[in-house]
Structure 1
Amino acid sequence: MASYTAPRRDIQFVLREFLDADSHYSALAGDAAVAPDLLDAIIDNAAKFAEEVVAPTFQSGDAEGCHFADGRVSTPAGYAEAFRQWGEGGWQGLTVPVADGGQGLPPSVGLCVTEMVGAANWAWSMYTGLSGAPVTCLLNGGTEALKARFLPKLLSGEWAGTMCLTEAHCGSDVGLLRTRASDNGDGTWNITGTKIFISGGDQDITDNIVHAILARTEGAPAGTAGISLFIVPKFWVEEDGTLGAFNHVSCGSIEKKMGLKGSATCVMNYDGARGFMLGAENQGLALMFKLMNTARIGTALQGLAMCERAFQGALAYARERLQMRSLTGAKNPDGPADPIIVHPDVRRMLMTQKAFTEGGRAFLYWLAQQADVIAHGSAQDAEAASALLELLTPIAKGFCTETAQEVSYLGMQVFGGHGYIAEHGMEQIARDNRISTVYEGTTGIQSLDLIGRKVLGSGGKLLRGFTKVIHKYCEAQGGNAAMAEFVAPLAELNAEWGDLTMKVGEAAMADAEAVGSASVDYLMFSGYVTYAWVWARIAETSLAALQRAEGEGDGEGESDGAFYRAKLATARFYFQRLLPRARAHAAAAMAPPASVMALAEEEFAF
């Protein structure tokens, strides 16, 4: 039976030691300042909620799945009760401004909570995550009257929400959408069309569902320039916030899926459903992109959550499973065989999982701090943080989810044949995680966004902003002999990042296909270098902490010392075993696009 334990120690390390959260939060404006005792309480209570309320629904929810009958969706047992407790606990409004009915805490606090409940059961957490979609849209484009009408019950968990972009004939190319909006002349609009792949489009968890929908008004320009954003409730909401009549929002079917079976993926029909426009006409995509960027970081977080879950399961099994003897002598002489954790190849798999999991946590929590600064910092600091997030969001979404596929695969591999059966939950993790590289923009879409729009599109400015951060870090560590094993290769690859970018850009001037053919390898190279910077900083933090911990001499000091030594060992593993992959990706990115485009369409099959 699969289980989940929130990684409290590593979360505290990342927040308090790696990121100096206490100083970070104290520097934020107003209600966003988080006292240390409050942060501890939030982490502790979120961990308990994840372990005790959400985690028990992980395997049972997958086995039961969602069902569709008579136009209604039913969710697995325990989902509605967990959602009720989530709402009553105030978790849904954790990062919403106080003035709008939330608790006003910084985005990074919400991300920490989301990691834990998502690792406990990502399928369940889809309902809480998508409920934030109309909230974000209302905060960015809603009038005070609309916010008063919808936010209270969205934040209390009495209502849920969705994000509705995709249509059957267009995926990421939302400019092709056909859903129509007609003006009723009274401040409302009638929405007509069909959306697919709508997570939580219908469910039996809440009394109402509020849909954030992209649609095209009559006479709107073609393409993305003619898209507007609307919120449309399943049941009409009166001005005082009470429920009215059914609003012609119906579920046509739910998808039969590979994973996340407790999350209803719906085909939604809007048959003249009334709603409200948010923001200005034809400006919907700009508003939705504010939500999409958040969603992409959220999907990167899914990669981290699945990494943590797969690593925990593999580690526990490797400690218990007895098979063969160590080549260096029996490690379990009183037993019939040694635990498989003593074997080098099993260690390789576990260390790979550990490096990607803990590196991903440090990276994403640091990114979330940049979001804190954008929301609650000075104008100058917010500008710099925004530039970093603009560059690093596609790297986070693409790299964190691609490496999560490897980590979940390795989780199954450690279990051997037992990983392929449902009992241990490892095959479910692999199934649940597989979608993370697809939705909110595939890895290919993220890669094109990174190299095309963010790097080349900014004339290299965004990239130089981050490589300068790395360069300054390496310079600052130049006199630290203990850090030389990390700083030297990091500095080399950081310089190569700029060179690779110039070469891809030059190749694109000669052949427009060069960017597309190089893009995924370019993103993966970028991810490996970014994680190298993260792991160098983790190593630096651990070296300093190890000196303190080993000097204490008591039991707690010995435990801390083991923790920091493990961090250093994992940093060395990353640099020696995983970082070399970066240059292979660089070489592939520089290969001529002809090797990708050589075949005519008809030559792919005979």
Structure 2
Amino acid sequence: MKGYKAPLADMRFLLEQVFDAQNEWQQLPAFAEMADLETAVAVLEESAKLNEQVVAPLDRNADEQGVSFENGIVKTPDGFADAYGQFAEGGWIGLCGNPEFGGMGMPKSLGVLTDEIGYGASNAFQLYGSLTAGAALCINAHGSDELKEKFLPSLYSGAWTGAMDMTEPQAGSDLRGIRTKAEIQDNGSYKISGSKIFITSGDNDLGENVVHLVLAKIATDKGLSKNISLFLVPKILVNDDGSLGDANGVSVGSIEHKMGLKGSATCVMNYDDAEGYLIGQEGRGLAAMFTMMNYERVSIGIQGLGASEMAYQLAAEYAKERRQGVAADKSMRSGEFNDSLLVHGDVRRMLLNIRSLNEAGRAFAVHTGLQLDIANYGEGEAAEWAGAQVGLLTPLAKAFLTDRGLDSTVAGQQVFGGHGFIREWGAEQLVRDCRIAQIYEGTNGIQALDLLGRKVVANRGENMKRLLEQFSAETSAMTNVDAGHKDSVLTAFAELQGATAELVDAARNDANLVNCAAVDYLNAVGYTLFGYFWLRMCNVADEQADEQFASDKRLVTDYYVKRVMPLAAHHLRLISTGAGATMALELDRF
């Protein structure tokens, strides 16, 4: 089987034809002098080269060998340290980081594509850089100038790695119950004591230090404060000149033995009077941490997309070569004893489901990245509206992309038949590695609640209405798409808008409705928006010099609109049944 190949032609098509990214970037002063299409393509090609040739070949062994933990030391799989050195040397950790502290300052709309390449090559390896970049993002947004100067250059360079430490045994999705304690010291630092679990990249042998962002409650005369604060806690203390000093009170209690992502170190972390430094304001730790959390949620959505892309590549190649049965359509028969799997409609169904979700998901990711760029670096109403879109799109990116990612890896495994259940083909590893993406960084049910409860109902549906109206207007203006497809997408927008208005009104009188309807609502939004992105791609496909590329876009658009997008209406029908059937069974009858 061939290894992972980055979908560079599709990525360039999105940046150049679909989103006119160069023009978008040059409207933003932060990118005007450094971000252009030629540079972006060169970045993608270099990312592909590193991940295809260095990272992807390590992924199978990383799964089999896993992470080891002996005498308090965490060791990553063979080859990871060398590969991470090349990854860091290439500047990939600081690709979208602040140039003032050694980052490259590239747009997030480019970063989502390099993230996908990384996750496609190796879910486990990519997480180390992703957590480090996320920690740097949070420090840059909320840390003091002193903390930025002391920690950001070494994070961006890859000399140090980063981790996000939130979860405790008694406090998972509801962080109000955390017990990690912070006691202020005379010099303004804090002593941090407590334990955290499920800490991705909590420790490793890839860098010289690990910078932990730890949620804790400040100790007062009356006990722990109710509000949560955020602290930077290095594994090894850093001297004023930036050199490493003494070991801090940070240790690994154990590593988790997991279903998948075995090359990624997931640690139990202990803090014993560890020295930490407040990030942002006291009691505002969750707000600061969510800067990193929202970055990670988009990144984990891309994890689902990257795994799904690899699943498609493996399954499509296998289906071309594997011969089983004969074609039902005699005109497709090879005349030999049996035919390629691709003559069978059900195999085509599975592959087209995966491909149609992947290519629309990639477009959705770039759009989300552009909104992040505009929100962070734009001005005025444009930046404000982009920020509102990010609020809607972030939970959708995390949940819809990872739900469909698992669906796709399972479908890819199914194409292999019995060979998909054994190790050598790689399909079963993708299923295991992708599964966690629906759980961590906030379970997908919580993402759905965030979308419907906080971003739609609490806003009286105004932002969602504006988004749907904008996309509807853009769809109506398209001139190079099938009229029937256009009507289908516009109808889906109208049905979604009607259901949104009904939900907003009905939620006033039914406390359970949002919780019961949230997942179906998120799915309805996802399938509908993907229809829009397919038409947006199809509308400009003829601008490609490659006629087959354009033809493929039109054919897969036809498949998506006819065979996949109707699932949006299915989910809206489920929402219309209300909460009664879900909530009727009494607690003690489960």
* TM-score for the superposition, normalised by structure 2: 0.97
Number of the residue aligned with 1:467: 468
Number of the residue aligned with 1:10: 10
Percent identity over paired residues: 40
CA shift in 2, pair 1:327/1:385, >3 Å: same
Aligned residue type for 1:38: T
1: distance between equivalents of 2:226 and 2:109? 33
CA shift in 2, pair 1:140/1:482, >3 Å: closer
Superposed displacement of residue 179, structure 1:
0.6
Superposed displacement of residue 220, structure 1:
9.7
Number of the residue aligned with 1:356: 357
**What is the DSSP-based 3-state SS (H/G/I as helix, E as strand, rest coil) of the residue aligned with 2:83?**
helix
Superposed displacement of residue 506, structure 1:
3.1
Number of the residue aligned with 2:511: 512
Structure 1 stretch displaced more, 485-494 or 211-220: 211-220
Number of the residue aligned with 2:581: 595
CA shift in 2, pair 1:46/1:282, >3 Å: same
Query: Is the contact made by 2:140 and 2:152 (CA closer than 8 Å) also made in structure 1?
Result: no
CA shift in 2, pair 1:227/1:481, >3 Å: closer
CA shift in 2, pair 1:184/1:211, >3 Å: same
Query: Is the contact made by 2:25 and 2:31 (CA closer than 8 Å) also made in structure 1?
Result: no
**What is the DSSP-based 3-state SS (H/G/I as helix, E as strand, rest coil) of the residue aligned with 1:160?**
strand
**What is the DSSP-based 3-state SS (H/G/I as helix, E as strand, rest coil) of the residue aligned with 1:458?**
coil
For residues 333-372 of structure 1, the aligned pairs below 5 Å read: 333=334, 335-372=336-373
CA shift in 2, pair 1:25/1:510, >3 Å: closer
Number of the residue aligned with 2:374: 373
Number of the residue aligned with 1:552: none
Q: Which runs of 5+ in 1 are unaligned?
A: 550-556
**What is the DSSP-based 3-state SS (H/G/I as helix, E as strand, rest coil) of the residue aligned with 2:283?**
coil
Superposed displacement of residue 39, structure 1:
1.4
1:565 lines up with 2:520 in the alignment: no
Query: Is the contact made by 1:127 and 1:160 (CA closer than 8 Å) also made in structure 2?
Result: yes
2: distance between equivalents of 1:506 and 1:460? 10
**What is the DSSP-based 3-state SS (H/G/I as helix, E as strand, rest coil) of the residue aligned with 2:69?**
strand
CA shift in 2, pair 1:537/1:96, >3 Å: same
**What is the DSSP-based 3-state SS (H/G/I as helix, E as strand, rest coil) of the residue aligned with 1:112?**
helix
Aligned residue type for 1:442: T
Aligned residue type for 2:526: G
Number of the residue aligned with 1:115: 116
Number of the residue aligned with 2:565: 579
Aligned residue type for 1:396: A
Query: Is the contact made by 1:224 and 1:285 (CA closer than 8 Å) also made in structure 2?
Result: no
For residues 181-330 of structure 1, the aligned pairs below 5 Å read: 181-219=182-220, 226-329=227-330
1: distance between equivalents of 2:301 and 2:30? 29
Pairwise CA RMSD of aligned residues?
Answer: 1.7
**What is the DSSP-based 3-state SS (H/G/I as helix, E as strand, rest coil) of the residue aligned with 1:306?**
helix
**What is the DSSP-based 3-state SS (H/G/I as helix, E as strand, rest coil) of the residue aligned with 1:504?**
helix
1:503 lines up with 2:502 in the alignment: yes
For residues 84-123 of structure 1, the aligned pairs below 5 Å read: 84-123=85-124
Aligned residue type for 1:54: V
Aligned residue type for 1:147: K
Number of the residue aligned with 1:150: 151
1:416 lines up with 2:417 in the alignment: yes
Superposed displacement of residue 222, structure 1:
10
Query: Is the contact made by 1:163 and 1:212 (CA closer than 8 Å) also made in structure 2?
Result: yes
1: distance between equivalents of 2:2 and 2:173? 35
2: distance between equivalents of 1:25 and 1:127? 28
For residues 513-528 of structure 1, the aligned pairs below 5 Å read: 513-528=512-527
CA shift in 2, pair 1:537/1:482, >3 Å: closer
2: distance between equivalents of 1:526 and 1:224? 39
Query: Is the contact made by 2:217 and 2:225 (CA closer than 8 Å) also made in structure 1?
Result: no
User: How many corresponding residue pairs?
Assistant: 589
**What is the DSSP-based 3-state SS (H/G/I as helix, E as strand, rest coil) of the residue aligned with 1:76?**
coil
Aligned residue type for 1:11: M
Query: Is the contact made by 1:220 and 1:282 (CA closer than 8 Å) also made in structure 2?
Result: no
Superposed displacement of residue 188, structure 1:
1.1
Superposed displacement of residue 98, structure 1:
1.3
**What is the DSSP-based 3-state SS (H/G/I as helix, E as strand, rest coil) of the residue aligned with 2:508?**
helix
CA shift in 2, pair 1:224/1:374, >3 Å: farther
Query: Is the contact made by 1:2 and 1:425 (CA closer than 8 Å) also made in structure 2?
Result: no
Superposed displacement of residue 602, structure 1:
2.2
2: distance between equivalents of 1:30 and 1:278? 25
**What is the DSSP-based 3-state SS (H/G/I as helix, E as strand, rest coil) of the residue aligned with 1:509?**
coil
**What is the DSSP-based 3-state SS (H/G/I as helix, E as strand, rest coil) of the residue aligned with 1:428?**
helix
**What is the DSSP-based 3-state SS (H/G/I as helix, E as strand, rest coil) of the residue aligned with 2:327?**
coil
Structure 1 stretch displaced more, 339-348 or 328-337: 328-337
Aligned residue type for 2:210: I
Q: Which runs of 5+ in 2 are unaligned?
A: none
2: distance between equivalents of 1:228 and 1:54? 37
2: distance between equivalents of 1:221 and 1:392? 41
**What is the DSSP-based 3-state SS (H/G/I as helix, E as strand, rest coil) of the residue aligned with 2:416?**
helix
Structure 1 stretch displaced more, 391-400 or 270-279: 391-400
Superposed displacement of residue 47, structure 1:
0.6
Number of the residue aligned with 1:553: none
2: distance between equivalents of 1:257 and 1:402? 19
**What is the DSSP-based 3-state SS (H/G/I as helix, E as strand, rest coil) of the residue aligned with 1:385?**
helix
Superposed displacement of residue 332, structure 1:
6.3
For residues 20-31 of structure 1, the aligned pairs below 5 Å read: 20-31=20-31
